Structure 1
Amino acid sequence: MQLSHTFAATSAVFDEPNLVSSAGLVPVMGLAESAGLADLVDACLSVPTDNGANAGSKVASLVGGMVAGADSIDDMALLRHGGMGRVFTGTYAPSTLGSFLRSFTFGHVRQLDAVASRLLTGLATRTPLVAGINGINDYAVVDIDDTIVEVHGYAKQGAGFGYSGVRGLNALLATLTTGQTAPVIVAQRLRKGSCGSARGAKRLVRDALKTVKTLRGAGTEESSAAPVLVRADSAFYGRPTIAAAVGAGAQVSVTVRLDTPVKKAIATIADDAWHTIEYPHAVYDETTDCWISRAQVAELPFTAFSGKKKADQVPGRLVVRRIPDLNTTPGQDGLFDVWRFHAFFTTVPTQAMDTVTVDKTHRAHAIIEQVHADLKNSALAHLPSGRFAANAAWLVLAVMAFNLTRAAATLTGPALARATTATIRRKLIAVPARIAHSARRITLHLPTAWPWETAWTRLFTHACGPPTPATT
């Protein structure tokens, strides 16, 4: 690819008042407005002093800036250049938004959590964001996991070295995935960097399952739907987290630590109880109608927390996957096979999922890592404030921007419904446009031959009404 002409930069280009760099924000923020974002904030948020005035507009500005690509408070200036002020009203300077965030306390963050949950419900009623959540056969799956958001400098409250050895703050997330949709975030919490993964998980699970119940109520009758399945890794294998999920009527699938009771249980599995499974590098043999693989899976009845009183015990299944341990000395092969075991505890009944199916379902828990990577590649790439509560509010706002972007993409068709935030932003949001005024009406002139014109038009039509030919 080569340039067709010789170019010279001039500052006059940056002075053009009728250019909009992110025309895709118009339908996206229209969708947020129809879901009641500003009204929800004004009703729920009570930040004191003049810093908390017009909270709905300030939160909408922060979310809109994140959708457009901002990952710091200074980046919010992208809402105030060129013709953005003619398209959007109520945008604020980055300094004003920073003062607003620094006025937050933990109670205000919890109020913002309620806004995020209600906004997700509003989006779900207007878009196919959680299609299939009331499926009779397919589980709606809630995944719980945490991630360390690295910080720099020594003015960050709560920053510390956690299990990863990285200095940062700990973000705990709960995502919801159905058989038809990509993950959305249903609950979130920011903790200090040195805390354990399971800290606060009990309350987060309750909040997440309450949101899922509300989302299910927005569709068909919940009573006919399959139970919700909560998946987590071994850091969350504890009585408080599992009891919170089971108490809310959900099933669980949680990796267990190989402690003494688990090792004793694995030792009782008979040699003929193992089933070969599809695993990386497996080969399917059509003649025998089975997979040729060294990975195998088996299960046995198991009662979690059997050392506690009977009321605290949880009956279920222990599903064990074994693979060969290939960490041997070259040239000194063993006399017999040595296996590595990976076990998880589940309450899913056998008639709902057999051993192979429940193992494959549990391994899909890794999907939450994609959400972590997506957030860190967008609004959560930077925790902007030295105050912990401000960063906690920033996390909630990043989650709202993530869900809003995902909801907008689902309106355009299947091609972008599972795309990452960066891809959605590049194809739908970061669209340049020129503003024209006629009869007190604003017209956006978009680029010709835009590859994603059809998808953009679908989004605009749903959020803002049918476009005139000049807008396409």
Structure 2
Amino acid sequence: MHHSTHVFPALSTQLTGQSLVSHAGLSVLSNFLNALDFQRVCEDRFSQFVPATAAHRSGRILGALALSLAAGGEQATDIDQLRAAPGLFGPVASDATVSRFMSRIKEQPDAFAYGFATMTRTLRSKVWAASGPRNPARLATPADPLIIDIDASLVHVHSEKEFSAGTYKGGYGFSPMIAMADYGKTNGTGEVLAVHLRPGNRGANSAASHIEVLNQALAQLPDDFYDERGNLRGEKILVRTDSAGSSREFLHYLDSLGIQFSTSYSLPVIKERFIRWIDEKKYWEPALNAGGDQRDDAWVIDASKVIELKDYPAGTRIYLRAEPLHPGAKATLFDTDGNRVTAFLTNSPRFNVAFLDARHRARGRCENRIKTLKSTGLGKLPYWSFASNQAWAVLAMLALNLVAWLQLAVLPGGHEASVWDVKRWRYRLFSMAGKVVSGGRQRRLLIPEKAPEARLLCQLHEGIGALFQRWRHGELAA
């Protein structure tokens, strides 16, 4: 008789009434929301969206949706994962209650948008103030400003939804414009300031859309970016975009606010002698890589005296970068010596060519934030109503930002988890199993001692508890 050899242990399965929790690691985010006094802030902004006698208040509904999206949920009904663990997450609203809440949002979209914007600004101000020496607002200076990345993306849908339209890639859906804060790789992964949902046929190079999402983002910044009269201190901010944001209208708008900019630029057709000048690399200087070291196969140069810029804001300069063509890439008119030549515009008060180039190329980090935002809810808009989908988009933003705020205010500087994206948080921490037990008139959450991130979970809980006590006793500005 032959005996089969199993790859893994084969266990019989049976049901149990024990208080087992499959997403015990999410307790980090639920405790963080409690420490932020999320319930009170939501009640102040959204009390009109729930009946006065309702047991499930707005904070509990929005908090459960944000936790579900952070854990990987894709629609409102996925909060049943939280409903299965009342000992850890408390009573969770039913699907019908959430549906009625979203219907009220659809009826009052402007009220919800204003309430959500003021709520997130309050929470952001509180978290940034608690981050101490890593506070992005206090670190921002004209020489090293806070960077706001603006970029458009495509969200494809597979059914008819309000205001959905065909996209330039032949798909169908929406083209949201997104503004994100990048406050340095050493301080975390950055966060999202605003999401402006648009029909799929809206172009990425719309100056009006750039201005709209920028204004939403600026309204999210704490008071440190405004003077005593409420005027924006634009010199402490740098807006970074791809070539879609290089329109004269948008750059003049930034200049009127005193904001710095760094935007990719499509080179115009220029005379042959300029192309020959570009080939003379003896006038160029080495570019820097992401670590700040010089590269021996890439060069940068200030071309402001050679390439004329017309009708751009005063002080706008153009910089060129040359690097080897990628395998399979087709050469353009300017790529005559085997190098791809690209350009960007800036009005920054700094003139270190290699530094400006490296800072502009770091714009690639915003692509990771957009990918993460899509994985926390933006990638699958579940409603037919445009207003409801816009509300879903900002809930996805809140889910992403909760993790970013943890990295900024709770984790110590340099911790390996400070650069994790949400998917890694889910696999390493949020999906951790546990068991709720009672004893001595207290309930406790038991976590496997051998779980790889058990120490990180305890460290986060301790950090959140310390922050809560400091907020409670007024040691930190709210």
Instruction: Provide the residue aligned with 1:396 in structure 2.
Output: 394
- Aligned to 2:138, the other structure's residue is in SS state coil
Are the structure 2 counterparts of residues 142 and 263 from structure 1 closer, same or farther at C-alpha, using a change threshold of 3 Å? farther
Deviation of 1:457 (Å): 0.7
1:167 to 166, 172, 191: 172
Q: Which moved more, 1:100-109 or 1:44-53?
A: 44-53
CA contact (8 A) 1:160 1:168 kept: yes
Instruction: Provide the residue aligned with 1:257 in structure 2.
Output: 266
Instruction: Provide the residue aligned with 2:215 in structure 1.
Output: 206
- Pairs within 5 Å for 1:55-454: 55-81=58-84, 84-105=85-106, 106-107=109-110, 108-127=112-131, 131-135=135-139, 136=141, 138-154=144-160, 156-179=161-184, 180-181=186-187, 182-197=189-204, 198=206, 199-214=208-223, 227-259=236-268, 271=280, 273-278=283-288, 291-293=295-297, 295-300=299-304, 306-307=310-311, 313-323=313-323, 337=337, 340-349=340-349, 352-410=350-408, 411-413=410-412, 414-454=415-455
Deviation of 1:318 (Å): 0.9
- Pairs within 5 Å for 1:32-71: 32-45=33-46, 48=49, 50=51, 54-71=57-74
Deviation of 1:43 (Å): 1.8
- Aligned to 2:402, the other structure's residue is in SS state helix
What is the distance in 1 between the residues matched to 2:53 and 2:216? 26
- Aligned to 1:61, the other structure's residue is in SS state helix
What is the distance in 2 between the residues matched to 1:232 and 1:25? 34
CA contact (8 A) 2:129 2:135 kept: no
What is the distance in 1 between the residues matched to 2:287 and 2:169? 32
Q: Which moved more, 1:42-51 or 1:454-463?
A: 42-51
CA contact (8 A) 2:147 2:238 kept: yes
Are the structure 2 counterparts of residues 421 and 264 from structure 1 closer, same or farther at C-alpha, using a change threshold of 3 Å? farther
What is the distance in 2 between the residues matched to 1:25 and 1:432? 10
Q: Please tell me the residue identity of whatever aligns with 2:46.
A: L
| Structure 1 unaligned spans of 5+ | 285-289, 467-472
Q: Which moved more, 1:42-51 or 1:178-187?
A: 42-51
Q: Which moved more, 1:439-448 or 1:372-381?
A: 372-381
Deviation of 1:176 (Å): 1.1
What is the distance in 1 between the residues matched to 2:127 and 2:456? 18
What is the distance in 2 between the residues matched to 1:192 and 1:224? 33
Are the structure 2 counterparts of residues 129 and 98 from structure 1 closer, same or farther at C-alpha, using a change threshold of 3 Å? farther
Aligned-pair identity in percent equals 20
Count of matched residue positions in the alignment of Structure 1 and Structure 2: 439
TM-score (norm 1): 0.81
Deviation of 1:93 (Å): 1.6
Deviation of 1:184 (Å): 1.0
- Aligned to 2:196, the other structure's residue is in SS state strand
What do the CA deviations read for 1:133-182 (whole angstroms, capped 9, x no partner)? 4335533211110111111112x112122233321212221111123322
TM-score (norm 2): 0.80
What is the distance in 2 between the residues matched to 1:80 and 1:328? 52
Q: Which moved more, 1:372-381 or 1:145-154?
A: 372-381
What is the distance in 2 between the residues matched to 1:399 and 1:421? 12
Q: Please tell me the residue identity of whatever aligns with 1:292.
A: D
What is the distance in 1 between the residues matched to 2:179 and 2:274? 30
Deviation of 1:119 (Å): 2.2
What is the distance in 1 between the residues matched to 2:48 and 2:465? 31
What is the distance in 1 between the residues matched to 2:426 and 2:43? 28
Are the structure 2 counterparts of residues 249 and 40 from structure 1 closer, same or farther at C-alpha, using a change threshold of 3 Å? farther
What is the distance in 2 between the residues matched to 1:91 and 1:65? 11
What is the distance in 2 between the residues matched to 1:78 and 1:326? 46
Q: Which moved more, 1:122-131 or 1:389-398?
A: 122-131
- Aligned to 2:170, the other structure's residue is in SS state coil
